Amino acid sequence: MKKNISLALTLVILTACHKEAPIPSLEERYEKYFPIGAAVGQKQLQGLDSALLIHHFSSLTAENDMKVSRTIKSMQEFSFTAGEHLVDFAERHGMQMRGHTLVWYHQTPGWFYRDSLGHYLSKEQLLQRMRWYIHQVLDHYRGRVYAWDVVNEAIADGSAMFYRQNIDWYRVCGQEYIKKAFVYAHEADPTIKLFYNDYDLINPVKRDKVYKMVKKMIDEGIPIHGIGMQGHWTLEDVNEQNLSAAIDLFASLGVEVQITELDISVYPYYHNMDRSTLPKEVKPYTPELAKQLADKYEEVFQVLRKKSEKITGVTFWGVTDKKTWLSNYVVKGRTDYPLLFDSLYQPKEAFWKVVEFVE
């Protein structure tokens, strides 16, 4: 039903393959396991990116276009155009649409927390503004976005602090902003699935904090339906044991588990690290590196298939290595190769390891 794709692009997909058979579709290969998604921006809804999206993915996330900074320009001006392009594309091609994200300390403009004189709002005022914002956004996308990352990255790294405290949401509202966001989202639209989303959840310290927070929310009757494990792993951190343990623990709460931002960096672990100390040298993409990445993806997807009854979605944070936040953000200018398709839109060895498995 969704394969509305031009002949030229189809040919590119079918011939951009070193093997003789056509390239299998990720989404079809994983149909009986879970939807496969990709996070993109509106500029990727054309050309080869869109061809790959249509062929391989059954779910779409806005990498940036539904964040607060892109959605609201001032108290008088919302800007839904970019997000709408994504939703339109998803609908045209029979894809699910995930919303990302309603409440995050990052990519939220400074004025959002302040009054017209530049003074911080009171806790009550900020919670009211949050409620108003969530209602506006969920009203706008009603019936078109099936799940939202309601709160993103509220838990601190390491063991010194439980919540991330050096952010405006916490400074003004304390930890209560987290629960309130879910309550407001549910009252705005009780039909959508509400996720808490965070990174490094294979790390037992952070994993257990998220477990504890979500358990408490469930015990208190807060409407929360899922935990998004972002992914953003590296060759050295994710493995069969820590991934399985995290999925099992979160699923034991009775909530959905999704991998929401999957990519695997070929550089060392970088979460909670001083970025100036991270290696700056660009690794060449050698056959050895390609194999290491492929083996790691194989290990990850073996776990995901095995645990598929507990998983309701796996979304890659991007489509090809040509456009990945990892090539510019963690270390400026450093090229990374974290996805299944290379910068020339060709499937990598990792792709084949993900699609070629024995049932």
CA gap 333, 326 in Å, rounded? 9
Distance between CA atoms of 101 and 215, rounded to whole angstroms?
Answer: 21
The residue sitting closest to ligand G3I, measured at its beta carbon, is 325
Handedness of CA 247, 101, 194, 209 (dihedral sign): positive
* Residue in 27, 153, 256, 349 annotated catalytic: 153
As to burial, measured by CB atoms within 10 angstroms (0-12 exposed, 13-18 middle, 19+ buried), residue 219 is: exposed
How many residues does this entry show for the chain? Answer: 359
Query: Least Å distance between CB 151 and ligand G3I?
Result: 12
Q: Cα–Cα distance between 217 and 238 in angstroms, integer?
A: 27
**Residue choice 9, 17, 29, 64 for contact with ligand G3I (CB under 6 A):** 64
d(CA 162, CA 254): 23
Query: Measured from the CB of residue 259, what is the shortest distance to ligand G3I in angstroms?
Result: 12
Smallest distance from the beta carbon of 60 to ligand G3I, in angstroms?
Answer: 14
Q: Which of residues 155-194 bind ligand G3I (CB under 6 A)?
A: none
CA atoms within 13 A on the CB side of 225: 14
Residues 285-314 that bind ligand G3I (CB under 6 A): none
**Nearest-approach distance from CB 339 to ligand G3I, in angstroms:** 12
Interaction between residue 325 and ligand G3I (CB under 6 A) = yes
Q: Between residues 197 and 312, which has the closer beta carbon with respect to ligand G3I?
A: 197
Q: Is 81 in the site for ligand G3I (CB under 6 A)?
A: no
Q: Is 49 in the site for ligand G3I (CB under 6 A)?
A: no
* CA–CA distance, 170 with 179 (Å, rounded to integer): 12
Burial class (CB in 10 A: 0-12, 13-18, 19+), 85: middle
| Nearest CB to ligand G3I, comparing residues 42 and 58 | 42
**Cβ atoms within 10 Å, residue 66:** 26
Q: At what angle do helices 240-251 and 204-219 cross, to 10 degrees?
A: 10
Q: Does 122 bind ligand G3I (CB under 6 A)?
A: no
Judge whether 173 and 123 are in contact, CB under 8 Å.
yes
73 binds ligand G3I (CB under 6 A): no
- Binding track, positions 189-208, relative to ligand G3I; x by CB under 6 A: ----------x---------
What pairs with residue 226 in β-bridges?
195, 256
Question: In angstroms, what is the minimal distance from the CB of 67 to ligand G3I?
Answer: 7
- What do you get for the CA distance between the two ends of the chain, in Å? 25
**Using an 8 Å Cβ cutoff, are 348 and 336 in contact?**
no
| Number of residues in contact with ligand G3I under rule CB under 6 A | 10
Our answer to whether residue 240 is catalytic in this structure is: no
Catalytic one of 27, 63, 256, 261: 261
**CB 80: neighbour CB atoms within 10 A?**
17
Q: Is 153 among the catalytic positions?
A: yes
Reduced to 3 states (helix: H, G, I; strand: E, B; else coil), residue 65 is coil
Closer of 3 and 106 to ligand G3I (Cβ): 106
Residues in region 91-110 near ligand G3I by CB under 6 A:
106-107
Near ligand G3I by CB under 6 A: residue from 13, 48, 57, 63: 63
Shortest distance (Å) from residue 37 CB to ligand G3I: 14
Figure out which of the listed residues 27, 65, 261, 349 binds ligand G3I, where binding follows CB under 6 A: 261
Contact between 263 and ligand G3I (CB under 6 A)? no
- Residues forming the site for ligand G3I (CB under 6 A): 63-64, 106-107, 152, 199, 230, 261, 325, 329
> Catalytic residue positions?
153, 261
